[in-house]
Amino acid sequence: MSYDDGVTQDIRFIEMLNKYKLKGTFNLNSGLLGQPGVITIGRKPVTHNKVCPEDVKSIYAGHEVASHGLYHATICDSDPARCLNEILACRKELERLEGYPITGYAYAFGAYDNTVLQALRICGITYARTIKPTYAFTLPENFLIWNPTCHHDDEMLPELIEKFLNDTSPFPMLKLFYVWGHCYEFDQNDNWDVMEHFLKKIAGYEDIWYATNNEIERYVSAYRKLVFSVDGSVVYNPTCTAVWLGAIGSDCVTEVGPGCVTELPDPAIL
């Protein structure tokens, strides 16, 4: 779940997430916090009031705050210094408000180019979300070009929910269902009830990890850094994150602890 702009409608949405014990990532523009506004595009005009900076920590407690750029500017083809400032100044202020490192980003208007990608790396950003739907549950090859499954208003959403929850593949792999949007859109389309139905439907599964973007990126990055022996019988985890491995056709799960060399019970382990 990834929601942009840091608007006051986030408060109601977070109450819904908490109700169903789900997590979200909220992408804020630190230079616009506290500013009032109105969105006139869409079905009807709705408020676009940004949360106040002094309320950020309490509003988003238990969820992740990520950067959406200092002023929600399109920084493609821009001067490198301006590009860096849009990213780094936003990160710095959000870190001051939240008290923890902010390493996530969502592209304003979904726009990016090679200059922006380079700037993100320089600024210590480890993942960045686009707005291009995949209609799939695959993990990104490059976390700086993280395409979501779909927008919450996409007509494919109901079908995707059923496909995700009822996968009967004999070779199950890691799957990620990634929905994005803006909370003010629930006011525009009068469909808060649709989102609550979605949250209720996906909540409560013991075999689903309900995680923030940062948690997902850190875990997958740790998994991808595992070093396996040639015959697949031993694995070394060079990271500080525990990773769990399972084998096809087996209920066996092996934990590979941080900094540990672990023997695997099955060479077919994933």
Q: What is the pLDDT of residue 247?
A: 76
Which is more confident, 228 or 252?
228
Is 268 domain-assigned?
no
Q: Are residues 17 and 125 in the same domain?
A: yes
pTM of the model: 0.95
Q: Are residues 154 and 256 in the same domain?
A: no
C-alpha closest to that of 105 among 81, 86, 132, 78: 86
Is 155 domain-assigned?
yes
Is 22 domain-assigned?
yes
Q: Which CATH number belongs to the domain containing residue 141 in this structure?
A: 3.20.20.370
Burial label for 43, CB within 10 Å (0-12, 13-18, 19+), is exposed
- List pLDDT tens digits, range 123-140: 999 999 999 999 999 999
Q: Are residues 139 and 236 in the same domain?
A: no
Is 158 domain-assigned?
yes
C-alpha closest to that of 148 among 159, 161, 160, 138: 138
Q: Are residues 72 and 189 in the same domain?
A: yes
Q: Are residues 164 and 254 in the same domain?
A: no
- List pLDDT tens digits, range 74-87: 999 888 999 999 99
Q: Are residues 189 and 255 in the same domain?
A: no
Q: What is the pLDDT of residue 270?
A: 53
Q: Are residues 80 and 10 in the same domain?
A: yes
Report the percentage of the chain scoring pLDDT > 70.
97
Residue 69 banded pLDDT, cuts 50, 70, 90: very high
Cα angle 255-18-149, degrees, rounded to a multiple of 5: 65
Instruction: Reply yes or no on whether the pLDDT at 267 is more than 70.
Output: no
Q: What integer is the mean pLDDT of 15-33? A: 99
- List pLDDT tens digits, range 148-167: 999 999 999 999 999 999 98
Q: What is the pLDDT of residue 228?
A: 96
Is 217 domain-assigned?
no
Mean pLDDT of the chain: 95
Q: What is the pLDDT of residue 265?
A: 84
Instruction: Reply yes or no on whether the pLDDT at 169 is more than 90.
Output: no
Q: What is the pLDDT of residue 246?
A: 84
Q: Are residues 126 and 249 in the same domain?
A: no
Q: Are residues 94 and 11 in the same domain?
A: yes
What is the C-alpha to C-alpha distance for residues 223 and 241, in angstroms, rounded to an integer?
9
Hey, CA dihedral for 136, 222, 199, 27, is it positive or negative?
negative
Residue 41 banded pLDDT, cuts 50, 70, 90: confident
Q: Are residues 238 and 121 in the same domain?
A: no
Q: What integer is the mean pLDDT of 224-230? A: 97
Q: What is the pLDDT of residue 176?
A: 98
Q: Are residues 256 and 203 in the same domain?
A: no
Q: What integer is the mean pLDDT of 233-245? A: 96
Q: DSSP characters for the chain? A: -EEES-BTHHHHHHHHHHHTT---EEEE-GGGTT---EE-SSSS-EE-PBPPGGGHHHHTTTSEEEE--SS----TT--HHHHHHHHHHHHHHHHHHHSS---EEE-GGG---HHHHHHHHHTT--EEE-S---SS-PPPSSTTSB--SEETT-TTHHHHHHHHHT---SS-------EEE-THHHHHHT-HHHHHHHHHHHTT-TT-----HHHHHHHHHHHHT-EE-TTSSEEE--SSS-EEEEBTT---EEEE-TT-EEE-S-TTB-
Q: What integer is the mean pLDDT of 106-119? A: 96
Largest CA distance in the chain: 61
Q: Are residues 207 and 232 in the same domain?
A: no
Q: Which residue range is the domain that position 78 belongs to?
A: 2-212
Residue 32 banded pLDDT, cuts 50, 70, 90: very high
Is 270 domain-assigned?
no
